Amino acid sequence: MNESTYCTLESVRSDMPEIVQIRQSIHRHPELAYEEQETAALVADRLRAWGFEVVTGVGGTGVVGSLHAGTGTKSIGVRADMDALPIQEQTGKPYASEYPGKMHACGHDGHTAMLLGAAKYLGRTRNFNGTLRLYFQPAEEAGYDSGAQRMIEDGLFQRFPCDAVFGMHNHPGRPQGEFLLRKGAFMSAADKVTINVRGIGGHGARPHLAVDPIVVAASIVLILQTVVSRNVDPTQTAVVTVGTLHAGDAYNVIPEFAKLELTVRSFNPQVRQLLRHRIEELVQKQAESFGASVEIDYQLGYPVLVNSDAETSFAAEVARELVGGAQVNDAFDLVPASEDFAFMLQQRPGCFLRLGNGVGEGGCAVHNPGYDFNDENVPVGAAFWARLVERYLT
């Protein structure tokens, strides 16, 4: 192990034309959750060419690459997600999606490319002492029954063990190349709630003979606005948003059914439990007060993403070595989005970071048809992962 030659940005520069080309190729050929056959094959082929032991089909379409160097017994895992979203791309880029209704609108093409860039460098230099595991994960965007869950259920950490695991996501709206992280809770739990209201349909001119589910649904929307403001400790953070409300087909008919769908976000397991209790209780009683009935399907999604202290301090230290302290914010704000990497952090200590994607054009929000990953971040991410591995496996 040569400690004087840890990876720098210049160390990976010569590899970047190839890695950026890979990123844009993946962008051109996006694949949805559990459909990542072409992407997985590309990843596996490159890893084998660079000297990694490769196993495919982990958790469906996941790929794991392993590389051993020296005689060290420590091991580290690094994860990148591979799936795209069902969105029609509108970037106008020369490498825009060739598949109608599918695009890499969250930057997973960039995440995969950054880790491949590190893999090529580490396969060539092997400037570490221990075992490296690269987890290329499907279906982060699934929301439920996600790729991280399936890989773990497929024995990920038993078959390909690591002492600590790390992951990263781009962050539009922050300066390109800025590292953002924090100890403890970092990203929110995300739960989905479906509420089916059943009333009594009737003529729009005779509402006294019906039980109007639209009125019930409207009252439920209003009462839900009190769940956070009047039940959650003001020092805690939570969000309850009604995303859909559907009812009726004709202007002069009172329908029998109405349907609402909610997203519920929280950063604390106790708050998460409180939100569920109050939502179910309030919705049930609100419907009963109108003489209606409800069915509530409360689906627990991704848990709170919690970074462990030691690994977060270590990741911040490596980032400062790479890009300087001004480009590292290790007390960044809570992020109300969710990430299935949280399941991996329930199994192993580790850290999830975010990497500024830029402002202006690079500031376009993810899950937007105009979004694109910033290729200036490919060498930054690649060098960071390589240096993190070298430093951890010293």
> Which residues are designated catalytic?
83, 140
Distance spanning both ends of the chain, measured CA to CA = 6
d(CA 192, CA 277): 14
d(CA 155, CA 55): 12
- Return all residues near 325 (Cβ < 8 A) that are at least 6 apart: none
Residue with tokens 């010569």: 14
State the helix-helix crossing angle for 16-28 and 37-49, rounded to 10 degrees.
Answer: 160
Q: Which residue from 156, 79, 77, 149 is spatially nearest to 111, judged by alpha carbons?
A: 79
Q: Which residue from 253, 261, 255, 347 is spatially nearest to 303, judged by alpha carbons?
A: 347
d(CA 340, CA 304): 9
d(CA 345, CA 322): 24
Q: Are 48 and 54 in contact (CB under 8 A)?
A: yes
Q: Which residue from 233, 185, 190, 189 is spatially nearest to 331, judged by alpha carbons?
A: 185
Q: Are 307 and 351 in contact (CB under 8 A)?
A: yes
The residue type of 260 is L
User: DSSP readout, 262-327?
Assistant: EEEEESSHHHHHHHHHHHHHHHHHHHHHTT-EEEEEEEE-S--EEE-HHHHHHHHHHHHHHH-GGG
d(CA 306, CA 349): 9
d(CA 233, CA 220): 22
d(CA 109, CA 30): 8
Q: Are 133 and 53 in contact (CB under 8 A)?
A: no
